Structure 1
C-alpha cells in the first residue's frame, strides 16, 4: 500500500500518515475485515530478510515486501504508482516434477496440461511459454502425454494441490 502525496514525502512520513488515519478511522467506531496495516520492520542484512520472511509465512502471509527507506535523493524517495526499484516482493517458490496425463485448450486457445503429481492429485497447469507457442503445442498436444513437466508454485492447498502452479519445463 501507499498513498500519492503531492508534497513528495518520504516513505516513513507517508506510512505514519496512513497509520494515524487508520487509528482515527477505528477510533470513530469503524471496523474493517478487508485490510489491516502491519508493523514495518527494518532489515539490516539478508539474514534479517530471511528471518522476517520465514516468520510471516509461518503466520499465514505469502511473503514479504521489501521497501527502500526514504532517500535524500528526490527520485529515490518520491512515490511512484508504477513498478520501481524502491519496492520488491519476496516469496519463495517450490519446484516439482509432475506427469502430463492430458490437455485442454485455455482461454487463449493455447495448451493447458492436465497433470498428476506424486501425491496422486490431478490438476491443470498452464505453461509460462508465450500464447503463440502454447497454441502451437495445442495442435500437437498428444505428443506431451506421459512426459514430465516441472511446475513451480508457492504452496500447497489443504488438499495437497499446488496453488497457482505454472509450467516451467517439459522433459
Structure 2
C-alpha cells in the first residue's frame, strides 16, 4: 500500500480537517480510496475504487497498477488544488466562490426585502479584475482560449458568474465548448455575471457596481448581466421562481441585500430554490444499454451507503455512444444526477445523468 502525505486545511469554523489517500493491490486488482476526518471526530473512508488499465494493446497502454498510481497522484494533486497542504506547510489557497444553501433548509434565515436571480445551469467562472485569468468553482484556471473573448478590465474587482452557451442548452454542450477550444462553438460562450467577490461590501452595493462595470465598462458583447429582482415577501419570491422556471431556468437564487461575499463557503445569505435535486454520485462502473440502447453508456453509481443504481446520461445518442467508447476513463469520476425523490435505499428515483465532473468541480 502507498499512502499520500496527510493533508490538512481549515473548516469555516476554524477547525483543522484532514485528508489522506491510499493506492493498493488486492486479489490481483488495483484500488484507491480516500480518508477524511476533523479534529475530535472519527475517520471516514470512501468505498474503494477499482482501477483498470487503459488503451490495452496500443502503444500508450497502461497497466492497472500504472493507471491506479496515475489516478492516485491526480486525486492527491486535486486536494492540494483545494487548498490542502502537508502538516506544517503553507498552501496557496485559490479564490473560490461563495456557495448556496438549500432554501427549504434555511428559509427561516431569509430577511425581506431580498433579491432573486434565475439559477443557471453552466460552469462557475470567477474572472480576475485585470482580465488576465478566469477560474472554475474548484479554483482551477478555465481554458484561456475558450474564455479570451469574455475578458475585460474591471480594475480591482473580481467578477462572479456562469460560463454557458446561450439559449440554455444541455450542460454537456457547454462542457464541450468550455473544456477544449473548438473554433466552431467556444467563441459563442457567454459569461452571465451576477456578483462581485468582495467580503466587505453588501450585495446591494456590489450589484450596483457590477451593473456599472458591465454597462459602462466596455464589457464584451457576450457578457450578460443576470436579471436581479427585489422581492418583499415569500409570495413574491415564489412568484418570481415560477416565472424563472417557466422560462426554462433550473430554479432561483436568493440573496440577502445586506450581506458580504463569503469566499469559499456556503452562506445563509445565498440560497437556492429548485423543484428537483442535483447530487454528485461516484461512478463505479459503466454498463452497455440494452435493446435500442445497445452501444450507449449506462452509468453505475453508488450512494454514500453503498447502494448501487443505474443512470442513463442526458444527451444525444452520439454523445452517449462516445461515453461508452471511452467508458474506462469515466470510472472514478463524479456524475451530477438530477432527480425528484429517493427510494427507501437512498437511491434517486427516475435519475438522469446531467454531466461528469472531476472531484473539485462541484
Query: If the length of structure 2 is used for normalisation, what is the TM-score?
Result: 0.28
Q: Which residue of 1 aligns with 2:266?
A: 83
- SS of 1:15's equivalent in the other structure is helix
Looking at structure 2, the residues matched to 59 and 108 of structure 1 have their Cα atoms a distance apart, in angstroms, of: 32
**Greater relative contact order (Cα 8 A, min sep 6): structure 1 or 2?**
1
- Which blocks of at least 5 consecutive residues in structure 1 are unaligned? 71-76, 95-105, 116-122, 139-148
Structure 1 pair 108–22 and aligned structure 2 pair: CA distance change class (3 A): same
In the alignment, which of 185, 208, 218 is matched to residue 16 of structure 1?
208
Q: Are 1:109 and 2:284 counterparts?
A: yes
Looking at structure 1, the residues matched to 257 and 301 of structure 2 have their Cα atoms a distance apart, in angstroms, of: 37
- Give the total of aligned pairs: 123
CA contact under 8 A between 1:126 and 1:165: conserved in structure 2? Answer: no
- SS of 1:2's equivalent in the other structure is strand
Q: Note the alpha carbon deviations across 1:99-146, whole angstroms, 9 max, x for none.
A: xxxxxxx9643698x79xxxxxxx95766721x613xx58xxxxxxxx
Looking at structure 2, the residues matched to 88 and 128 of structure 1 have their Cα atoms a distance apart, in angstroms, of: 27
| Offset of residue 19 of structure 1 | 0.7
| Offset of residue 43 of structure 1 | 1.8
In terms of fraction of residues, the more helix-rich structure is 1
Q: Are 1:92 and 2:275 counterparts?
A: yes
Query: If the length of structure 1 is used for normalisation, what is the TM-score?
Result: 0.53
- Which blocks of at least 5 consecutive residues in structure 2 are unaligned? 1-193, 291-296, 317-335, 346-362
CA contact under 8 A between 2:256 and 2:269: conserved in structure 1? Answer: yes
| Offset of residue 60 of structure 1 | 1.7
Cα RMSD after superposing both structures? 4.2
Structure 1 pair 169–125 and aligned structure 2 pair: CA distance change class (3 A): farther
In the alignment, which of 228, 233, 250 is matched to residue 40 of structure 1?
228
CA contact under 8 A between 2:283 and 2:302: conserved in structure 1? Answer: no
CA contact under 8 A between 2:255 and 2:271: conserved in structure 1? Answer: yes
| Offset of residue 10 of structure 1 | 1.1
Looking at structure 2, the residues matched to 92 and 157 of structure 1 have their Cα atoms a distance apart, in angstroms, of: 21
Q: Are 1:5 and 2:198 counterparts?
A: yes
Looking at structure 2, the residues matched to 29 and 46 of structure 1 have their Cα atoms a distance apart, in angstroms, of: 34
Looking at structure 2, the residues matched to 67 and 168 of structure 1 have their Cα atoms a distance apart, in angstroms, of: 28
Looking at structure 2, the residues matched to 5 and 29 of structure 1 have their Cα atoms a distance apart, in angstroms, of: 20
Q: Are 1:55 and 2:239 counterparts?
A: no
Q: Are 1:169 and 2:343 counterparts?
A: yes
Q: Which residue of 2 aligns with 1:31?
A: 221
- SS of 2:221's equivalent in the other structure is coil
In terms of fraction of residues, the more strand-rich structure is 2
Looking at structure 2, the residues matched to 39 and 64 of structure 1 have their Cα atoms a distance apart, in angstroms, of: 11
CA contact under 8 A between 2:284 and 2:302: conserved in structure 1? Answer: no
